[in-house]
Amino acid sequence: MLRSFVREIEIIGNDLLRGGFRAFSSVSSRRRLDGKVALITGAANGLGRATAQEFVDHGAHVIIADIDTTLGSQAAEQLGPTAKFVQCDVAVESEVAAAVNFAVVHHGKLDIMYNNAGITGPAVPPSLAELDLAEFDRVMRVNVRGVVAGIKHAARVMVPSGSGSILCTSSISGLMGGLGPHPYSISKHAIPGIVRAAATELCRSGVRVNCISPAPVATAMAVSGIGEVYKGVSREEIVGIINGLGVLKGAKCEEGDVAKAALYLVSDDAKYITGHNLVVDGGFTCFKNLEFPSLH
């Protein structure tokens, strides 16, 4: 009798295990953004381009909004029939408004707005005493004013529908000082604050607002910027420098890591998350090792 009982338990356990695997497979293979319409600024290359691919793979219709007409058009063509390109300089509010209108005209709605476009400013950071405020203003127009414009015009169409997800790209340079040029660091510090301020109001309309703060990723922009600092160093060496900044053994921050974080935050899997800054840095900003001087 005991042997029969044990056998029944084994059969039930195996059935549950198989059912669990089937359920897991169903969840892992499902498309999280089926039927969603997403507008991504700065999506012609880099993190924006990788995220556009991730969104398309999960069933979204994606509008690539970028100042670069050549790369933007190429990206849309490569992504296939569910992607479109619209020229957009986020420093110009009317162009941000037009990009949002483009999404609504072509798809009848806007479910996701990803304010990703950004610039670093001068690669070699001057001292504060030598800071060019015209250059500072240029960085702030793109990285801060452009984000606010994106939130404003996304909210214009999302609030009446009672739903939507707005996402912004910040940086670990917005969490710690000394990781980038002053204009860039200041602009990235502003973004989590903008997100919290916007989330406070928009949550009442069912619209979520979040941001991502990634560690350095070896994108074309990052490689070019660091190349200005390390003159004469090969691209491979610069990529090695960037990847060597991580602290999580056996891992490096890649474009796909940020794209997957974006996918999570804009999907219904994160339906109860708003006003959040998701830090994708492998623990870089969690601690600082103390280096004691040698006593000998």
pLDDT in tens, 173-187: 899 988 888 999 999
* Contact present, 266 and 62 (Cβ < 8 Å): no
- For the cut 60, the answer to whether the pLDDT of residue 108 exceeds it is yes
Distance CA(81)–CA(169), nearest Å, equals 26
**What's the mean pLDDT when you consider all of the chain?**
86
- For the cut 60, the answer to whether the pLDDT of residue 128 exceeds it is yes
- For the cut 50, the answer to whether the pLDDT of residue 280 exceeds it is yes
pLDDT at 250: 76
Domains of the chain: 33-216+252-280 (3.40.50.720)
User: In the predicted model, what is the mean pLDDT of residues 8-12?
Assistant: 49
pLDDT at 82: 97
Distance CA(162)–CA(193), nearest Å, equals 23
Instruction: Provide, rounded to the nearest whole percent, the portion of the chain with pLDDT above 70.
Output: 80
Q: Identify the band that residue 249 occupies on the pLDDT scale cut at 50, 70 and 90.
A: confident
* Contact present, 212 and 169 (Cβ < 8 Å): yes
Give which of 198, 201, 200, 180 is closest to 189, Cα–Cα.
180
User: In the predicted model, what is the mean pLDDT of residues 103-117?
Assistant: 98
Higher pLDDT, 41 or 290: 41
- For the cut 80, the answer to whether the pLDDT of residue 171 exceeds it is yes
Q: Identify the band that residue 228 occupies on the pLDDT scale cut at 50, 70 and 90.
A: low
Secondary structure of the chain in the HEC alphabet? CHHHHHHHHHHHHHHHHHHHHHHHHHHHHCCCCCCCEEEEECCCCHHHHHHHHHHHHCCCEEEEEECCHHHHHHHHHHHCCCEEEEECCCCCHHHHHHHHHHHHHHHCCCCEEEECCCCCCCCCCCCHHHCCHHHHHHHHHHHHHHHHHHHHHHHHHHHHHCCEEEEEECCHHHCCCCCCCHHHHHHHHHHHHHHHHHHHHHHHHCEEEEEEEECCCCCHHHHHHHHHHCCCCCHHHHHHHHHCCCCCCCCCCCHHHHHHHHHHHHCHHHCCCCCCEEEECCCCCCCCCCCCCCCC
pLDDT digits (tens, 9 = 90+) for 193-207: 999 999 999 999 999
Work out the angle at residue 65's Cα, subtended by the Cα atoms of residues 254 and 91, and round it to the nearest 5 degrees: 100
Strand partners, 166: 113, 209
pLDDT at 111: 98
pLDDT digits (tens, 9 = 90+) for 53-101: 999 999 999 999 999 999 999 999 999 999 999 999 999 999 999 999 9
Distance CA(15)–CA(27), nearest Å, equals 18
Q: Which of 184, 230, 264, 272 is catalytic?
A: 184
Strand partners, 61: 37
Higher pLDDT, 252 or 168: 168
pLDDT at 88: 98
Higher pLDDT, 31 or 157: 157
pLDDT at 234: 75
- For the cut 70, the answer to whether the pLDDT of residue 294 exceeds it is no
- For the cut 50, the answer to whether the pLDDT of residue 17 exceeds it is no
Q: Identify the band that residue 24 occupies on the pLDDT scale cut at 50, 70 and 90.
A: very low
pLDDT at 177: 87
Residue with tokens 């004469």: 232
User: In the predicted model, what is the mean pLDDT of residues 15-38?
Assistant: 64
Instruction: Provide, rounded to the nearest whole percent, the portion of the chain with pLDDT above 90.
Output: 63
- For the cut 50, the answer to whether the pLDDT of residue 37 exceeds it is yes
- Asked if 272 is an active-site residue, the reply is no
- For the cut 80, the answer to whether the pLDDT of residue 3 exceeds it is no
> pTM of the predicted model, to two decimals?
0.84
How would you list the strands of the sheet with 112-115, edge to edge?
A: 83-87, 61-66, 37-41, 112-115, 164-169, 207-214, 277-280
